[in-house]
Structure 1
């Protein structure tokens, strides 16, 4: 099974979607995103991985997801089932999604 790989030579595209949420709804948002990933997103063609990060102050959730290509990601966006799950998340929080490529990686 593929895993998350942060590598400038990898040909994946990365979705970084930062959600702003009320602290008392952070866990609810994480549960919605985790369920969407498990039930729908990971079964889409081109899906590689998804990782959820929670802000320590309770007001942010970041989704770091990798796709084989921007085209795979765009096809997922057009899927009505995926759109339904994304709507559930944006009913809870404000989303700021963007696609990225890895430019460089540094280690200690």
Structure 2
């Protein structure tokens, strides 16, 4: 599936950047879980805009770049039991999980 994501500094969205530390032999497993969770649950939550998963070349990190219409939409997703289940499963694979909300301040393209 190819999805074009446009980052717009004029639109006040909640941007989640979540960095997972993972054993290289489990990186693909974690990405598969995150993709399945996104397709089955996250993308159906109110306010969900898009999610991208990035695998570090050394196999030790997975980065999730995801945007929600508002911080309230993101917080409501966190309270959803089905979404919580998927996040707990990811935390069992990763050795460290560091989610943070950001505001896009600048975007550039070539």
What TM-score do you get using the length of structure 2 for normalisation?
Answer: 0.92
What's the counterpart of residue 100 of structure 1?
102
Residue-by-residue CA offset, 1:36-74 (whole Å, 9 max, x unaligned): 000000000000000000000000000000000000000
Query: 70-79 vs 7-16, which deviates more?
Result: 7-16
What TM-score do you get using the length of structure 1 for normalisation?
Answer: 0.94
- Shift in Å, 1:5: 2.0
Distance in 2 (CA, whole Å) between partners of 1:30 and 1:107 is 26
What's the counterpart of residue 8 of structure 2?
7
Distance in 1 (CA, whole Å) between partners of 2:41 and 2:55 is 21
Distance in 2 (CA, whole Å) between partners of 1:97 and 1:4 is 20
Query: 7-16 vs 32-41, which deviates more?
Result: 7-16
Q: Is the CA contact 1:36–1:85 (under 8 Å) kept in the aligned structure 2?
A: yes
Unmatched segments (≥5 aa) in structure 1: none
Distance in 1 (CA, whole Å) between partners of 2:5 and 2:13 is 10
What's the counterpart of residue 34 of structure 2?
33
User: CA RMSD for the aligned pairs?
Assistant: 1.3
